[in-house]
Amino acid sequence: MSDAAVVPEEAPKKKRSKLPLLIGLVLMLALGGAGFYATWSGMILGGGREGEHAEAPPDPLPDIAFVPIEPVMVSLGPKSSAKFLKLTSQLEVTKAYAEEVTALMPRILDVLNSYLRAVAVEELEDPTAMARLRAQMLRRVQIVTGEGRVRDLLVTEFIVN
């Protein structure tokens, strides 16, 4: 006998079946298709085809009116790089109070002129100051007109020239 080790012959490897992979793939496609159809048809998540379901009408617009304010021209000081400020705006009011607010327009113009003349030129030239200026002007107008009449002040033109 020889000292050489006897090497056993390797047993042939058993091939793994591809049947479970195929079944998994078919089930995945079937469930994906069923989920798509359920969503598309509106069974879940409220989806659906366009025009199939009647759309709800939009909410009615609030009961508002816009009262224009005459343009306000304010001269800026001699130290300013600009000479004038022009402000054009409108007041958002409840329709029931539109006539009352219009009747108070001289007082509103006076309050806006007084405030804008008191504001520092540097603040007028700052691009981020618009929100603060608008809030200050709105508050002053609300004091003049009374609570609940003026909802908002819309600045349509603000020119520093």
DSSP string, 32-70: HHHHHHHHHHTSSTT---TTTSPPPPPPPPPSEEEEEEE
Residues of the chain with pLDDT under 50: 48
- Residues in CB range of 113: below 8 A, 6 or more apart: 72, 74
15 Ramachandran zone, left/alpha/beta (phi>0; psi -120 to 50): beta
Could you give the residue ranges of the DSSP H alpha helices within the chain?
A: 19-41, 98-103, 105-118, 121-125, 130-145
| Residue 157 dihedral angles phi and psi, to the nearest 5° | -155, 130
Domains defined for the chain, CATH in brackets: 18-56 (no CATH), 64-160 (3.30.479)
pLDDT of residue 72: 94
pLDDT of residue 52: 54
pLDDT of residue 153: 97
pLDDT of residue 115: 94
pTM comes to 0.62
Edge-to-edge strand ranges of the sheet holding 64-75:
64-75, 84-94, 150-160
What's the CA gap between 63 and 82, in Å, rounded?
Answer: 40
